[in-house]
Amino acid sequence: MLPYILILILFATLALLSKAESYTESGVRLEGKTFALLTSCFLLYLLTILKSPISGDYSRYADNFFNSVKYTYTFYLERKKEAGFYMFTKLLSEIQYSTFFYFAVTSAILYICLFFFLKKYAVNKLYAIYFYYTIGLFAFSLAGLRQCLAMSICLFAYSMIRKRKPVAFFIIVAIAFLFHKSAVFFLPAYFIGRIPWKAKYQIAILAGYGLLGIFFDRFYYLVASWMDYDYGIESTGNGSIFLLILLIIGFLGVVYRKELIAADKESLLFLNMHFVVILLWIFRLFTRTAERPALYYLYGSIILLDRILSLRSEDREKEVTRKCILLCSVVLFGVFFLYRTLRDGNLIPYISIFH
């Protein structure tokens, strides 16, 4: 538990003491925190690879790595189930038959992708890396390696949404699908991300949400069967707490919508992604199956919150309000992280590879 707390304190301190990057009138960044972001990602990388894979879900990935030598590439291709992940695992086992090497390579992919994503879209990178660490994505990286690799690949698809390159977007998602079939649920992001905030569009979206709610049972069983998941009613006790946090972020996003879009039109993309997370998390209260698709969109929530907290104002009262929201956010996410970590068998106990 201690390593997680030390990283939490470090990231929280850096977030509270940092300043948002400056921009010229043309939108060029004047001040960067690339080195700080790179160092933060490297610390999370070390935290991940130095944890022994003898417990939790990572132990199953270690077993799969060892067992991969028994099978051929043809076997994985013919099985047609996330062949990309299993063939990649087999390739690494042929290069170096060591779980440390295996998790070092796979974790490097996760944090390299995260680094470039936050470098490109985060206004204050130290806010963003803190929220990544505490919002649940880091914890999931120690449990769902296959999906995390797929999610990391999909981070490059955000750029294709912004540039309106549908072919490139679908190719990226298709590659991610080879690692985890849940990547298919990120396909609507291409269309959702560009929806303007106008009444006629919002009414249509609400109608779509309503229809999904009416046919939720049928849709759930179809998706759960296809994904080979059989989760029941939420039993971890944190679904409603996290939904409340998401709703607060969504409320702030709506309140500061005009300022966000005025500062950067790309903020609309992340605002829309966040409301997809809210919708999916409402369904997640009834079944954990909905959690998997939500995690693809949760990266957008990180950027949205980062941009909200980076909206500086010359007005003294507004600036005081922003700082209060920042402080409350850091404390809230820190407490939430500790609450979830204490209950997560994939994170604790933290047993290092040197033990």
Q: C-alpha angle with apex 162: 26 to 85, nearest 5 degrees?
A: 135
Q: What is the pLDDT of residue 331?
A: 92
Which residue, 270, 255, 279, is CA-closest to 206?
279
Output the six-digit token pair for 213.
């709610």
Q: Helix 99-121 to helix 56-67 angle, to the nearest 10 degrees?
A: 120
Return the biggest CA–CA distance within the chain.
66
Is residue 37 within 8 Å of residue 126, measured between CB atoms? yes
Ranges of residues in the chain whose predicted pLDDT is under 50:
23-31, 231-236
Q: What is the pLDDT of residue 172?
A: 96
Tell me which DSSP letter residue 80 carries: T
Q: What is the pLDDT of residue 274?
A: 93
CB atoms within 10 A of CB 212: 12
Output the six-digit token pair for 11.
């990231």
The pLDDT tens digits for 278-328 are 888 887 777 677 788 899 999 999 999 999 998 887 778 888 888 899 899
Q: What is the pLDDT of residue 23?
A: 47
Q: What is the pLDDT of residue 314?
A: 77
Q: What is the pLDDT of residue 92?
A: 94
Q: What is the pLDDT of residue 221?
A: 58
Q: What is the pLDDT of residue 199?
A: 55
Q: What is the pLDDT of residue 234?
A: 41
Partners of 29 in the β-ladder: 23
Q: What is the pLDDT of residue 105?
A: 96
